[in-house]
A and B are shown apart, each in its own frame.
Chain A
Amino acid sequence: MIRGRDEPLAGGNVAPPAQRSLRGYALDPSLAHTLQSAPISEIVFRVPWEPLEPGPIGRYLEVIDYDPAAKCFYAPVNLDDPHLLAQDGMRPSEGTPQFHQQMCYAVAQTTISNFERALGRVTLWSPGPPLDAGQRYDDSHFVPRLRIYPHALREANAYYSPVKKALLFGYFAAPEGDQRAHVPGGMVFTALSHDIIAHETAHALLDGMHRRLNRATNPDMLAFHEAFADIVALFQHFTFPEILRYEISNTRGELRAQNLLGQLASEFGRATGNRGALRDFIGKVNDEGDWEPHKPSPLEYESTTEPHKRGAILVAAVFEAFVAIYNSRVADLMRLYTGGTGILAQGAVHPDLVNRLSEEASKAASHILTMCVRALDYCPPVDQTFGEYLRAVITADQDMFPDDPRNYRVAMVEAFRRRGLYPRDVRALSAENLRWRDPENDEYRPSEKLTSMLTMLREQASIQLYESSREKLFHQERATRLVIHDRLQDHFRDEPEGEQDAKFLGLDPKSSFQVHSVHFAARPAPSGVVIQLIAQLLQERTIRLDEKDPESGETRFEGGSTIIANLNTPAITYCIRKPVTSVTRRQRQQSFNLASSQAGLRATYFPVSDASEIREPFALLHRAVI
């Protein structure tokens, strides 16, 4: 029987696939330019299946290809076109704007999916500007899709705009001698660089989880944003088996030696010519032509204030932990393969070993990424430092995996310690001491009343955990925030334990406060599944920029806490406090702000009195200012 063109496929409806395959560049087009690396220059990204409008426009992303410097648009690609579906999307092509749209979508969506998988729940973008312009604190503006502009800028730059909820990518002509472009003097597109797309998407994801992190109140904050984005993009790289296999066979298993992966880490983000810092902190080729790792020193952290450079120290720490973990994971394989000598014979490494090593590297990378992402729930709501992030990493991992047979946590602590990245108020640097204190060991205790309030949230938790629509989830979370706020307000005002509990929560009971965010998560536990509440409480004060100068203008000083609670028991497991009453913290913020508002030539001609309220913090950071 001859089937007509319009008849449905045999068997009726076919279920949609789980994934959509899209071709793209593994790193950036430069790999395709040399014979040696050409085989791994392209990979296939696999993103969750969703119907796509031309753009492409999906649930999380909308690509709009407007090129303002060239006064034109480029036609949006339709990735649901059957011809494209049949061949894993468009063939990689530098000269076709539609492929750029595809690449941006593929890498950004991959990054989002990896992030959600690590986090264990769905992510939302940070809210848009208040729908009612008069209401500064109105955060009800749900933004479903992050916008991507693949050709927004005419410079060697790319950034996430928190104001526009958009990624802006630039393109530029490669200077003479630069090998990234196919033709000398040809165009380099940051929208074709996996590293850059993943990095910028990570900024947006982090902003969605912790809106206050892009408000610089101490030297670690913008640096943390940069470092986190680098970590996400970097470890995403190590999850592509084809690249790992190629590299591991080239370097005979040793991940730290000069190799493409080491280069990936070392020359990460090279496309904008501005990331030399990471190269310096991980390692470089010495005068004899041998690559040697950088010897870390705590003094660097003391003296480095520029956000990229400072962030690079954190990235290097995480990378070192990763390499240590990888080495411990493959130690037995190497012993088996070399008969105990640890010395590889001449010639190519056996492909089976290469496969196994790649698998281990990929696993280790995925574990590190998960550790780093899960830690975000365990961070304070404002004014975060690297040391506090370490505590968050250790605590989150401990909760997940009480036993640490492979000593992942030890590797992390060691790597951070060597660089001086530890919290100032912790006596000993053991994993046990670095955990956030649980209420048993905390100086303040929650009252029975407060703990029992958790039960009223079980219903909310149930609704939210089942919700599949991100928009509904956004509004439900806001509703839950209001419920908690009102209950706490009554509690502070009317109930006897209110004042003590406010102290426990790092709040001043007499001032207004907001329940900044609320999430529920289902975490595996030895006893089954635990439903967790993760909430952030915030309070603010207006303070002078300079205590000694009455004319100096004002800024916001924020405090509050992150609460992590177990709804099953119920019990509050952690309260990570940043009291708004803390004088030392306020003074630190004031002196940081004074120093940063005076630094640099920009401060002379484009003065900004409040460094924490810059309109586009990442745009300025990402420019190569010389």
Chain B
Amino acid sequence: MVMLFRYNNLVRELVNKSSNEHGIIEMSLVNEVLSGLRECKPTGHRDILKAYLFEIRKTLRKQLVEVEFGCQPNESLISSLKSKLDTITSHSLDLQVSKNDQLIAGYRVRLVDDVFEDSIQSRLSKLSQSLTS
């Protein structure tokens, strides 16, 4: 982990090269970066790749919004959510909508490491915690 920090600047540059003009990471650009690295065989190739993977994951997570609903979501709900989210963040987001029966009802939105949640499940767990503690 500590070793990987050595390649911080290089890796940041590589991630920049892997994303298009909107800041979205693209498969083809990633392939280009990888083949470029393979060609010039830098020292610490393996470590650079590891750090690159870590950074790419982090960036991808920033662009991905996981949305879970307790019931079957309809189109209008999703589009209104999307417009709301666009006002929050500057860069464009990739919305991944799914249904999660465990929530029972309500929603759960995950944006990077922030979770916005209002569901029966979270309320029940809060209730059970307040009763047991």
- Do A and B actually bind? no
Chain A residues with CB under 8 Å of chain B are: none
